[in-house]
Amino acid sequence: MKVLLAEDDVYLGELTVHLLKKKGIDTVDWVTEGEDAFGYATASYYDVLILDWMMPNGDGISICRRLRGNGYSGAILVLTARDAVSDRVEGLDSGADDYLVKPFEIDELFARVKALSRRSLAPLQEEKVIIKDLVLERTSRKVFRNGEEIYLTPREFQLLDMLVKNKGQVLTRELILDRIWGIEADVSMKTIDATVKLLRKKIDRKSSVSLIRTIRGVGYKIEA
């Protein structure tokens, strides 16, 4: 699991990172300013963002609103010392998935992060998904662009489905490997790049607009 923590209190930030890693979270990136949180979240994939409400250069609520406004669909949890009902409502209205009041127990934070991570990559529920001129039908496993059917292999369809489900988010090559092939598979990153290249060629064949964007050194995304 990969988590981004945005917390300007150095002591609390260091302690939270240490305890979350001790709980078994593989990667916890930590920033102390809102703008850094926005930059990290839009440049890489995270299972969960933990945003402190009060931070310099962009508070957690405004960063949450900006991310959602840009189509970010990942899980976001807001931390704050404010515990009034109106504050909780404001936090959730900003687009946060959950809200935790300080001071908190690390066990509760960990439990909420785990719950959010399970939801963040849940299977796509809509039968038909439309992104610009692309139509994906999940039950029939058919894909159309500009009204013309595109024939994909099962793995290509699964990859496109994953990108569509997480539109607006950057999916790392490591995450794609884990979800599509399995982390133990003997597959190189070049194989992932080649699969994306073939998928892009098929869905862009008769269109001047490429839907799949390469984030150099990180992975791939479909714009929201």
CATH number, domain containing residue 213 = 1.10.10.10
Note the pLDDT of residue 18. 93
Domain count along the chain: 2
* CA nearest neighbour of 172 among 68, 56, 47: 47
DSSP run (H or E) holding 50: strand 48-52
Mark whether 111 and 217 lie in a shared domain.
Answer: no
Note the pLDDT of residue 123. 46
Mark whether 132 and 116 lie in a shared domain.
Answer: no
Question: At 36, which CATH number?
Answer: 3.40.50.2300
Note the pLDDT of residue 122. 47
The residue segments making up the domain with residue 73 are 2-120
- pTM exceeding the 0.75 threshold for the entire prediction: no
Mark whether 83 and 16 lie in a shared domain.
Answer: yes
* CA nearest neighbour of 193 among 170, 172, 211: 172
Mark whether 9 and 29 lie in a shared domain.
Answer: yes
Mark whether 107 and 144 lie in a shared domain.
Answer: no
Tens place of pLDDT for every residue, the chain, 224 residues? Answer: 889 999 999 999 999 999 999 998 988 999 999 999 998 888 777 889 999 988 998 888 899 988 888 777 788 999 887 665 665 666 577 788 888 888 888 999 999 898 888 765 544 456 788 888 899 988 788 999 999 999 988 889 989 988 988 888 888 888 888 778 776 667 788 888 999 999 999 999 888 788 999 998 889 999 76
Note the pLDDT of residue 184. 63
Note the pLDDT of residue 120. 57
Q: Characterise 187 by phi-psi region: left (phi > 0), alpha (psi -120 to 50), beta (else).
A: beta
Contact 197, 210 (CB under 8 A): no
Q: Token match 């209205």: residue?
A: 93
CA–CA distance, 192 with 155 (Å, rounded to integer): 11
Last residue of a domain, one of 92, 120, 148: 120
Contact 222, 133 (CB under 8 A): no
**Pair of tokens at residue 24:** 């078994």
Last residue of a domain, one of 66, 85, 120: 120
